Amino acid sequence: MLKFLSPTRPAAKHGLAYNIGWWIGRLIVWFLLLSVGITVLYKFVPVPVTITMVADPNGFTKDWTPLSRIDRNMVAAVIAGEDAKFCSHQGFDADAIEQAIARNQRGGKLRGGSTISQQTAKNVFLWQGWGWDRYVRKGLETWFTFLIEHIWGKRRIMEVYLNVAETGIGTYGVEAGAQRYYKKSAARLTRVEAARIAAALPSPKKRAVTGAKGFTRRHGNVIAARSGVVRNEALDACVYR
């Protein structure tokens, strides 16, 4: 087993193709070990910082908060606004992906069909953007989504998501967002306040949480209404088992 994990350098008599394959194989093994290891670690300890936070030109403010100290209205709001099937899928929503592909084929701004699990995997382990590297990132996102679904479980995924999601310019997590916008703890958010934070999540640098107008205000009102459905139909049950 030890020899497999720490193999000796391939003998010089082997060809170039063999040597390249040997190094690629070694990198793959170490990537698998490291990715699984850090995923297991983050199951138990708070995520200290993310690439997105470090790369934010505005700096960042965050305040890690256990899910037990975040109002259930906030959980219902992000499920209503971002991923209504959060408790029923295994990390990927095939219907949402198909709809996103159809929209993108019609032209206009590219949009994804990411679940909360996919967004969490991207926010914690990867980088943002729609550049040329998006296909590499999507492949890695798929792998990390699989890992967190099977290692963390739904409650931990939700807890991490609500602590690393960008909720405003230089603001990360719902606790920091609640303090910034409402001068209160995330434990005391009302349904409408939680819905307005959730409404800004897809574009937190452009959408206002307080004093929202137009689409953002209407979207927040819709989320607030749908949050009641989430609670009544127990669509957040997987988080509170």
**What are the tens digits of pLDDT across the range 106-148?**
665 555 579 999 999 999 999 887 677 888 999 999 999 999 9
The label of the residue with tokens 């994990």 reads 5
For residue 1, the model assigns a pLDDT of 44
pTM for this prediction: 0.87
**Alpha carbons within 13 A on the beta-carbon side of 96:** 16
Asked if residues 182 and 150 have their Cβ atoms less than 8 Å apart, the reply is: no
Q: Put residue 102 in one of left, alpha, beta given phi > 0 → left and psi -120 to 50 → alpha.
A: alpha
Residue 119 and residue 160: Cα distance in Å, rounded?
Answer: 11
From first to last of its 241 residues, what are the pLDDT tens digits of the chain?
445 455 556 555 677 887 888 889 999 999 999 999 999 999 999 999 999 999 999 999 999 999 999 999 999 999 999 999 999 999 999 887 777 676 666 665 555 579 999 999 999 999 887 677 888 999 999 999 999 999 999 999 999 999 999 999 999 999 999 999 999 999 999 999 999 999 999 888 888 898 878 888 999 999 999 999 999 999 999 999 8
CA 176 to chain centre: 17
- E strands of the chain, at which residues? 61-62, 166-168, 171-172
CA distance between the termini of the chain: 39
Coil, strand or helix: which one is 22?
A: helix
For residue 95, the model assigns a pLDDT of 82
Q: Which of 102, 126, 111 is nearest to 51 (CA)?
A: 126
Q: What class is the 46-239 domain?
A: mainly alpha
Q: Which of 184, 187, 200, 195 is nearest to 228 (CA)?
A: 195
